């Protein structure tokens, strides 16, 4: 038979098996004890090495703050130097801590040592052995003992799956048997943490222990609660038979068998396994994930139903296989010939009662377990009518849950079902269907000419977000600080919460101010008006610029907003005054008249006069510039 792995896939079997590797015989010297005696974060003293694996080293340690023994798992340096792995390891440690169940090894603390930079996980210290050591010592276990151990394992898995956590590496090494009889499952989530690390150099690197890998893990690397169910089914197979169902010359050959061969019933290897238990192991290890129990909780319910139906002699028969048979000398009974037939009859009656009770127990267990239940057909992505028809044909009724939007399932098709496809449901029971409402799309509202505040509120009312910064553009038609348009445009359909950018007006675009200095006022006004400016006029006298000609303007250059005002300074020509006639007036009066007009006055008086102006220069009626001196001749 040819053996090949899927393209791009490498096997990394038993990547983290520190739970089974002891410090005495399997650890490299030097590396094993490198941290013994160190105090992590001034709290956890690493006393001695317990085990070492592909990811981490486990130490027996003392919590010096609480004075209690703990187990500290310290990540290897190569992994601790990878920030992505450390971040994922932290998240997985927190997720593991959320799994609250007596059957799960408790997580007390997690951190990164400040001195060494090594990530570590502080866990409950469990004194005892692991399930691998038990199998190596005892071999195949009696069905009742195997079921009892698996019940604890499945309780741990049920709690983990309910918390949304997938173990990914169920194997005997990760099941701890405490000295006080407790069963604990360890190492939740660590395989997932390694899978996300940058150290996964080969595309499609497969994380897990090859003997317990589900086919979908080998083919695609995907894992969910059903892959844990597969591994747990293989583990139950091993407990009942003493070895895993597949072996081979290489990990690749074992993985090949998981993908291409059905796990045989354990009864094909050992005898004395009840049919109901045999069938459950086969169902838990189906190659099709949908054919297995849905998760750890479903597997546990099935196992408890099987446990109730186990024959009373099952444990006794299987135990004889594993333990030495003792030969006890037979003691002959007292001779009472007449009483013998009566005792034989009593023995027959007692035997008959035992057989009847056993049959009733088997029948009751079957009725309480498999008989009352059936599998719900898978109806996902079917139309409602087709789903109801399929479920009705299976003897089941339906009810509708509120419809829900979906990005993947078309409008009017089944989005969810409860129980899920192939899940257990009472015969004649009800399957709840959630139907897709199709894509949830929110329309971008029309926001042109709205203020930014109003536009923002309308977008939020529509279930959309607003970009933290808007784009600003000039507009000939939209007022400044109001919305021109949106990006995406109005009417576009977007997912809820999608961000929309507002394009906001900066007003009309600026215009270059032309130089109209030296132009006639009328020409300058016409030029500016054509460019969209308003014009204001200021007139001043000028001795150098002709009347009606622009002396200057403001702004003098650069750009200005269209519609803004340009102020023109226009010449009124020279400031000219017509000299009044002040002859015959008293000097004081004449002087007042001339100075009021802006003229300067100089007098020349002759003796013997009466103090009145006889003549003036310039003469009356002559036009002179303001500030000209007028001479008065007084007699």
Tens digits of per-residue pLDDT, 253-293? 888 899 999 999 999 999 999 999 999 999 999 999 999 99
Q: What are the backbone angles phi and psi of residue 522, rounded to the nearest 5°?
A: -65, -40
Q: In 3D, which of 297, 304, 299, 303 has the Cα closest to residue 161?
A: 297
Place of tokens 């006890």: 328
What does the buried/exposed string (b/e) look like for 101-130 if buried means 16 or more CB atoms within 10 Å of the residue's CB? bebbbbbbbbbbbeeeebbbbbbbbbeebb
Q: Which residue spans within 276-381 are E strands per DSSP?
A: 373-375
Q: Average pLDDT of 462-491? A: 93
* The pLDDT value given to residue 444: 95
> Which has the minimum average pLDDT: 109-118, 127-136, 223-232, 395-404?
109-118
* The pLDDT value given to residue 84: 77
In 3-state terms, what secondary structure has residue 38? coil
Q: Average pLDDT of 234-250? A: 93
* The pLDDT value given to residue 255: 87
* The pLDDT value given to residue 334: 40
* The pLDDT value given to residue 117: 83
DSSP for residue 592: H
* The pLDDT value given to residue 357: 60
Tens digits of per-residue pLDDT, 412-461? 999 999 988 888 888 899 999 999 999 999 999 999 999 999 999 999 99
* The pLDDT value given to residue 473: 93
**Ramachandran class of 560: left when φ > 0, alpha when ψ lies in -120 to 50, beta otherwise:** beta
Question: How crowded is residue 285: how many other Cβ atoms within 10 Å of its Cβ?
Answer: 26
Question: Which tokens go with 93?
Answer: 């440690």
Tens digits of per-residue pLDDT, 41-62? 999 999 999 888 767 889 999 9
* pLDDT surpassing 60 at residue 517: yes
* The pLDDT value given to residue 538: 94
Q: Average pLDDT of 173-191? A: 84
Tell which wins on pLDDT, 9 or 537: 537
Residue 11, strand partner residues: 206
Q: Are 489 and 447 in contact (CB under 8 A)?
A: no
Q: What angle do CA 5, 211, 195 make, to 5 degrees?
A: 65
> Which has the minimum average pLDDT: 79-83, 100-104, 557-561, 631-635?
79-83
* pLDDT surpassing 70 at residue 217: yes
* The pLDDT value given to residue 187: 80
Q: How confident is the model at residue 344 (pLDDT cuts 50, 70, 90)?
A: low
Share of the chain above pLDDT 70, in %: 82
* The pLDDT value given to residue 309: 77
* The pLDDT value given to residue 330: 32
Instruction: For residue 488, say if its preceding peptide bond is cis, omega within 30 degrees of 0.
Output: yes
Q: Are 563 and 552 in contact (CB under 8 A)?
A: no
* The pLDDT value given to residue 371: 57
Q: What angle do CA 241, 243, 245 make, to 5 degrees?
A: 90
Residues sharing a CB contact under 8 Å with residue 16, sequence separation 6 or more, in sequence order = 53, 54, 55, 56, 169, 187, 190, 191, 194
* pLDDT surpassing 80 at residue 169: yes
Half-sphere exposure of 596 (CA within 13 A, CB side): 8
> Which has the minimum average pLDDT: 14-23, 71-80, 207-216, 481-490?
14-23
Q: How confident is the model at residue 470 (pLDDT cuts 50, 70, 90)?
A: confident
* pLDDT surpassing 80 at residue 95: no
543: annotated active-site residue: no
**Ramachandran class of 35: left when φ > 0, alpha when ψ lies in -120 to 50, beta otherwise:** alpha
Q: Are 438 and 458 in contact (CB under 8 A)?
A: no
DSSP for residue 572: -
What is the dihedral sign for C-alpha 403, 405, 411, 416? negative
Tens digits of per-residue pLDDT, 349-368? 666 665 556 555 555 554 44
* The pLDDT value given to residue 304: 94
* The pLDDT value given to residue 354: 56
* The pLDDT value given to residue 1: 38
* The pLDDT value given to residue 464: 94
Q: Which residue spans within 8-126 are E strands per DSSP?
A: 11-13, 39-40, 44-52, 56-63, 68-75, 107-112, 119-124
Strands 56-63 and 623-625, bridge-based pairing: unpaired
* The pLDDT value given to residue 78: 78
* pLDDT surpassing 80 at residue 102: yes
Q: How far is CA 40 from CA 27, 56, 61, 106, in A?
A: 22, 15, 10, 19
* Average pLDDT of the residues of the chain: 82
Q: What angle do CA 45, 50, 56 make, to 5 degrees?
A: 85
Tens digits of per-residue pLDDT, 546-576? 999 999 999 988 888 888 999 999 999 888 8
Whole-structure pTM value: 0.47
DSSP for residue 398: E
* The pLDDT value given to residue 25: 35
Q: What angle do CA 557, 563, 568 make, to 5 degrees?
A: 50
* The pLDDT value given to residue 328: 28
Q: How is 109-176 classified by DSSP, letter by letter?
A: EEEE-TTT--EEEEEE---EEEHHHHHHHH-SPPHHHHHHHHHHHHHHHHHHHHTT------SGGGEE
* pLDDT surpassing 80 at residue 27: no
Question: Which tokens go with 18?
Answer: 């520190």
Question: Which tokens go with 621?
Answer: 């009626």
Q: Average pLDDT of 522-526? A: 94
Q: How confident is the model at residue 396 (pLDDT cuts 50, 70, 90)?
A: very high
Catalytic residue among 113, 169, 187, 228: 169
């Amino acid at each position: 038979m040819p053996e090949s792995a899927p393209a791009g896939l490498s096997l990394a079997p038993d990547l983290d098996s520190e739970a089974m590797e002891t410090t005495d015989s399997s650890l490299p010297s030097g590396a094993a004890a490198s941290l013994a005696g160190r105090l992590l974060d001034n709290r956890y003293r690493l006393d001695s090495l317990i085990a070492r694996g592909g990811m981490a080293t486990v130490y027996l340690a003392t919590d010096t703050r609480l004075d209690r023994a703990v187990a500290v798992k310290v990540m290897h340096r190569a992994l601790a130097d990878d920030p992505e792995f450390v971040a994922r390891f932290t998240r997985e440690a927190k997720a593991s801590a959320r799994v609250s169940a007596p059957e799960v090894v408790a997580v007390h603390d997690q951190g990164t040592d400040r001195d060494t930079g090594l990530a570590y996980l502080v866990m409950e210290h469990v004194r005892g052995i692991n399930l691998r050591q038990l199998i190596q010592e005892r071999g195949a276990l009696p069905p009742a003992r195997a079921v009892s151990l698996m019940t604890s394992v499945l309780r741990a898995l049920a709690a983990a799956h309910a918390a949304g956590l997938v173990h990914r590496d169920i194997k005997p090494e990760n099941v701890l048997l405490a000295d006080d009889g407790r069963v604990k499952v360890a190492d939740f989530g660590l395989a997932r943490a390694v899978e996300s690390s940058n150290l996964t150099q080969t595309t499609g690197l497969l994380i897990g222990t090859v003997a317990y890998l589900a086919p979908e893990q080998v083919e695609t690397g995907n894992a969910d609660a059903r892959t844990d169910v597969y591994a747990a089914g293989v583990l139950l197979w091993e407990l009942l038979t003493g070895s895993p169902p597949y072996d081979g010359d290489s990990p690749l050959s074992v993985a090949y068998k998981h993908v291409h061969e059905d796990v045989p019933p354990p009864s094909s290897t050992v005898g004395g396994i009840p049919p109901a238990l045999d069938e459950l192991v086969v169902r838990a290890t189906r190659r099709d994930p949908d054919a297995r129990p849905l998760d750890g909780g479903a597997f546990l319910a099935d196992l408890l139903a099987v446990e109730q139906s186990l024959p009373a002699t099952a444990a006794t028969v299987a135990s004889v296989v594993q333990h030495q048979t003792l030969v006890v000398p037979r003691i002959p009974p007292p001779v009472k010939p007449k009483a013998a037939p009566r005792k034989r009859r009593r023995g027959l009656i007692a035997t008959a009662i035992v057989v009847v009770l056993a049959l009733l127990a088997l029948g009751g267990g079957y009725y309480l377990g498999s008989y009352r239940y059936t599998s719900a057909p898978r109806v996902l992505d079917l139309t409602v009518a087709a789903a109801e028809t399929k479920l009705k044909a299976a003897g089941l009724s339906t009810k509708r849950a509120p419809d829900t939007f979906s990005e993947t399932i078309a409008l009017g098709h089944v989005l969810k079902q409860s129980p899920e496809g192939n899940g257990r449901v009472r015969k004649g029971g009800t399957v709840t269907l959630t139907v897709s409402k199709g894509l949830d799309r929110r329309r971008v509202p029309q926001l042109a000419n709205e203020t930014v505040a109003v536009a923002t509120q309308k977008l939020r009312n529509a279930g959309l977000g607003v970009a933290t910064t808007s784009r600003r553009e000039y507009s000939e038609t939209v007022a400044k600080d109001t919305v021109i348009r949106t990006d995406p445009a109005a009417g576009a359909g977007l997912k809820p919460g999608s961000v929309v950018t507002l394009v906001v007006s900066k007003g009309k675009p600026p215009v270059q101010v032309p130089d109209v200095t030296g132009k006639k006022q009328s020409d300058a006004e016409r030029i500016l008006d054509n460019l969209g400016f308003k014009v204001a006029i200021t007139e001043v006298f000028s001795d150098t610029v002709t009347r009606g000609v622009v002396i200057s303007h403001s702004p003098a250059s650069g750009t200005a907003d269209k519609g803004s005002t340009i102020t023109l300074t226009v010449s009124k020509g020279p400031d000219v005054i017509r000299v009044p006639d002040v002859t015959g007036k008293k000097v004081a009066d004449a002087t007042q008249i001339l100075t009021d007009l802006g003229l300067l006055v100089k007098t020349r008086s002759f003796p013997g006069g009466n103090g009145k102006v006889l003549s003036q220069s310039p003469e009356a009626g002559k036009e002179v510039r303001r500030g000209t001196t007028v001479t008065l001749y007084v007699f």
